Structures are given as structure tokens and as C-alpha cells.
Structure 1
């Protein structure tokens, strides 16, 4: 009798734990859960697979929730020794459609519309600059 109760309790505990693990595995937060209304409009990745990989993303936002902008940047891919940049523009503002490689990633005519720049360096240092071109 005791053995049967113990077995049933262990089975129930195991099923509950397994259910919790599956729920956490399949229902991870994503960029769609952020409240800033972020939409990716353009992306660049260089073809260099043996050296530093550079990612550049152009995104539009509905709201400037700075914490959401940094979280979105953290969701973006990054390679060891590479560099990831995310340029944020307000929805409806003029923004570049073709980012490119290097230190200047788009036509400077769009600089005024850029509200934030997320950058993850080769060493993994994260920096979110508000209004990066207003200096």
C-alpha cells in the first residue's frame, strides 16, 4: 500500500516537472513580446566566415522604450571577434534600406532620424547610445 502511494506521488511529481520544463522550453520570450513595436527593415552580414563577422540591422520602432531596445539588440546574433550594430529609427521616419560594411554603415543623410544605436563589440561589450549622431 505504501509502495503504491509513493509510486503514484513520484509519477505525478515527474509529470508536473516534465510539463514545466516543456512549457519553459517552448514558450521563451522573443522580440515579438517587446512593447516598443520593433520591425526589422534591413540587414547586412559580411561574407567573411574566417575573420570578424559584422552584422548591421536597421529597425523601426513605435516607442522609445530604451530597455526594450537593448533587449532586442541582445536577441540579435553575435560572433566571437565580430561586431553587431542595430540602428533604431522611429516608425514613419526616413531610414536606410541598404546597410553596408565598415564604420559608416549607411548614407549620413539618414543620421538625423536615428534615435539609438545598439552595439556589441568584438569583446562582447554592449553599448546603447541614445541619439548617437546628435553631438
Structure 2
């Protein structure tokens, strides 16, 4: 008959191997923007080169549809740095999406503002705002 401590040893080894496999699987199967139901295409991106202060990221993204929940989820999946600011502007047309973004507001050429269907922003303190039609005052609606 085997020693009971050997059973305990093998049980502990089994549990450790199981946890390593489970943690490894979870690490490599995180959800991303490619898992969303809509077609997205990043048209322009700006990130300042200041790594010692607040990191500012500005994205101009084409979205094939205006599913507000999916647009907000896309914004939540974008990179964000503590004490940084991430802004994602969504456009419903590739042709009417900016091809360049800039470090200062309005972050892209004014001619594209009328085509912006939503804006997602995560502030330096982690506060999230999602605004539908951010440049159309009569249709402004925050969630």
C-alpha cells in the first residue's frame, strides 16, 4: 500500500498544473475588439509621446452600424493608461472619416464633425462618458 503523503503530493501537483493551464488559457483568450459583432476600422490614431505625464490617445474609427451598446463596448476595450485620457470618435462612413488626428481639440478637421455618430471618452480618473452625435446639439444624448 502506498503512503498517504504520496497521494497528497500527487493531488497538490495535479492542482498546481491545473491552475497553471487555467491561468494560461485565461491570459490568452481575453476579449478584444475583433470579438464584437460590428465591423470596425481604425481610420486615424494619435498618441502623444509624453510618457512621464498624461498619455493622450485619440482614435477615429469607422463603425458599420450605430449599435450604441457595441460602440460603447468597443471604447471600453481600447487601451487606457492610469492618469491618461482615451477618446474614440465613431463615424458611419469610411469616406467621411478623418485620416489624421491631432493633439488638441477638436482632434480632427472640422469638416468631419457632422459625420461623427458617437464619442467615447475615458478620463484620467477613469470616468467614462459616451455621447451620441457629440457635434449635433439638437440630437445630443448622453448615456
TM-score, reference length from structure 2 = 0.79
| Root mean square deviation, CA, Å | 2.1
Whole-angstrom CA distance in 1 between matches of 2:28 and 2:34 = 15
Deviation at 1:132, TM superposition (A): 1.0
Q: How many residues align?
A: 135
Does the 8 A contact of 1:93 with 1:113 survive in 2? no
Whole-angstrom CA distance in 2 between matches of 1:85 and 1:93 = 21
Counterpart position of 2:78 = 76
Gap runs ≥5 in structure 2: 138-143
Correspondent of 1:33 among 24, 32, 35: 35
Deviation at 1:93, TM superposition (A): 4.6
Correspondent of 1:51 among 50, 53, 60: 53
Deviations 1:23-52 (A, max 9, x none): 111111111111122211110122333433
Q: 1:113 to 1:13 in 2, by over 3 A?
A: same
TM-score, reference length from structure 1 = 0.83
Whole-angstrom CA distance in 1 between matches of 2:136 and 2:58 = 20
Q: 1:16 to 1:109 in 2, by over 3 A?
A: same
Deviation at 1:92, TM superposition (A): 3.8
Counterpart position of 1:18 = 20
